[in-house]
Amino acid sequence: MEIGKNSKEPITLSDIFKGFSKLSREERLKALMQAGVLENADIEYLQRGGMKDFSLGEKFIENVIGYFQMPLGVATNFRIDGRDYVVPMAVEETSIVAAASKTAKWIRDSGAISTRLIGQDIIGQIQLAKVKDFAKFEAQILKFRQLWMDLSNQEVAFGLVRRGGGVRDLVVRRVPRGDGTDMAVIHIHMNPVDAMGANIINQVCEFLKAPIEEVTGEKVTMCILSNLVDTRLTEAQVILEKIEPDLAEKIEEASLFAQQDPYRAATNNKGVLNGMDPILIATGNDWRAVEAGVHAYASRDGQYRSITEWKRDGRFLVGTLRAPIVVGTVGGVTTLHPTASMCLRMLNVESAQELSRVVAAVGLVQNLGALKALTTVGIIEGHMKLHIKNLTLAAGADEEEVPLIQKKLEEILALKKRISLSHAIEALRELRSRVQTHS
């Protein structure tokens, strides 16, 4: 691809995915603009370093002293449910974007990614720490259930109702306190449409506090949403057709390891989140909420397990990810943060559901890339080669020294199969003493 040769020629995402990583930053921006992913104003904004208004930070958090910058990249080659996506990723860790793009290319050539949402509703919790008679309490609540749902929709969630969402269920749970008495927890189920919905559901729960106390004579202790949203799960599936049987078997074995052993499951899920978190950050979503949900869901049967699973099915390898991924395309800072709103536009998703499906797909693809590397060349080759760049900079090499030190470190890596910062420091010391001797 020669970007910019004829700017009038329409360019598709498939076109720009070819050789994208080999382009300079300028050429990448031009390619994204030609494919209609970015606009002129976005390019100017990104060229300025991606900051519009320094005082913006003050509007988001407290005691602001500056900004923390993170690289923003794009993962290429993603075709999800038959649609091409340019996936924005804000992340500091080397090789994540490269691995996602490379693995997505593999699937693009030899398989397919499909996604779906299972359920719509998020959960709000109203806790009554001590109820005298749980059965009586439950009966009282259920009597008013429909009225309170209707009132919540009329008084608080009317904006969501107008958009096809709102409060849809009210459930009473008995939670044993461990001392023979009961705690009651009321769950409010609400479809937040395109918002993550935390603030809206918290308001619904607070709104119901007074009527609940009045009808039951019991005391509400606290109200807050739950991040374990097992009522709104996102599923991604990868089917690989052309895969060597030996590799498919190794990936299946690696997957079983992560299903059965929590020590491995934690690292496996970290690898999945390597793909998910950068999109959440780039789009201004609450990645702590998704992380909390993912880990809680991973432990749902009492043992912490992988949220992904890979199995052979005849000549196919089939991978599945299922997790609560509650995100918004409105609300929070999604539209207030200029980079987040630009990234959302770049992704071109029409709904929060579509965003969560993309996030799930990228998490699953990232997992496949990691499992392939781990069961073939190992973590060092793929990861450390790219990490060499970071070590070179950390050792203090300047622009001229960087390529020389990188070359030296690659030689050490090939020879010793390991590499560390001390190698970089030593290589730099040697280089500088050689230069001094010659000058």
Contact residues for ligand NAD (CB under 6 A)?
159-160, 163, 192-200, 225, 227, 286, 289, 328, 330-332
List of residues 6+ apart from 16 with CB closer than 8 A: 1, 3, 31, 32, 34, 35, 76, 86
Least distance to ligand NAD from the beta carbon of 299, Å?
18
295: annotated active-site residue: no
Strand extents, DSSP E, 68-205: 72-80, 83-90, 111-118, 122-131, 166-176, 182-191
Least distance to ligand NAD from the beta carbon of 217, Å?
29
Burial of 301 (0-12, 13-18, 19+ CB in 10 A): exposed
3-state secondary structure of 315: coil
Among candidate residues 270, 407, 416, 417, the one labeled active-site is: 270
Q: Single out the residue of 183, 149, 150, 153 nearest to residue 169, CA to CA.
A: 149
Q: Which is nearer to ligand NAD, 97 or 198 (CB)?
A: 198
Q: Which is nearer to ligand NAD, 16 or 225 (CB)?
A: 225
Q: Which is nearer to ligand NAD, 200 or 347 (CB)?
A: 200
17 and 28 Cβ atoms separated by less than 8 Å: no
Amino acid type, 383: H
Q: Single out the residue of 103, 82, 83, 97 nearest to residue 317, CA to CA.
A: 103
What does the DSSP assignment read for 106-130?
A: HHHHHEEEEEEEE---EEEEEEEEE
Q: Which is nearer to ligand NAD, 71 or 159 (CB)?
A: 159
Q: Which is nearer to ligand NAD, 77 or 227 (CB)?
A: 227
93: annotated active-site residue: yes
Among candidate residues 138, 235, 252, 286, the one labeled active-site is: 286
Least distance to ligand NAD from the beta carbon of 155, Å?
13
Least distance to ligand NAD from the beta carbon of 149, Å?
18
Among candidate residues 30, 383, 387, 408, the one labeled active-site is: 383
Distance between CA 37 and CA 42 in Å, rounded? Answer: 10
Amino acid type, 14: S
List of residues 6+ apart from 132 with CB closer than 8 A: 218
Q: Which is nearer to ligand NAD, 205 or 265 (CB)?
A: 205
Among candidate residues 27, 93, 206, 426, the one labeled active-site is: 93
Least distance to ligand NAD from the beta carbon of 227, Å?
5
Least distance to ligand NAD from the beta carbon of 65, Å?
21
Q: Which two tokens stand for residue 265?
A: 């499951």
Least distance to ligand NAD from the beta carbon of 274, Å?
21
Q: Which is nearer to ligand NAD, 319 or 331 (CB)?
A: 331
Handedness of CA 119, 121, 124, 130 (dihedral sign): negative
270: annotated active-site residue: yes
242: annotated active-site residue: no
Q: Which residue in this structure is represented by tokens 């749970």?
A: 173
Nearest residue to ligand NAD on Cβ basis: 331
Q: Which is nearer to ligand NAD, 73 or 197 (CB)?
A: 197
Chain CA centroid to CA 89, Å: 9
β-pairing, 83-90 vs 111-118, is unpaired
Least distance to ligand NAD from the beta carbon of 287, Å?
9
Distance between CA 120 and CA 122 in Å, rounded? Answer: 7
Q: Which active-site residues does the annotation give?
A: 93, 270, 286, 383
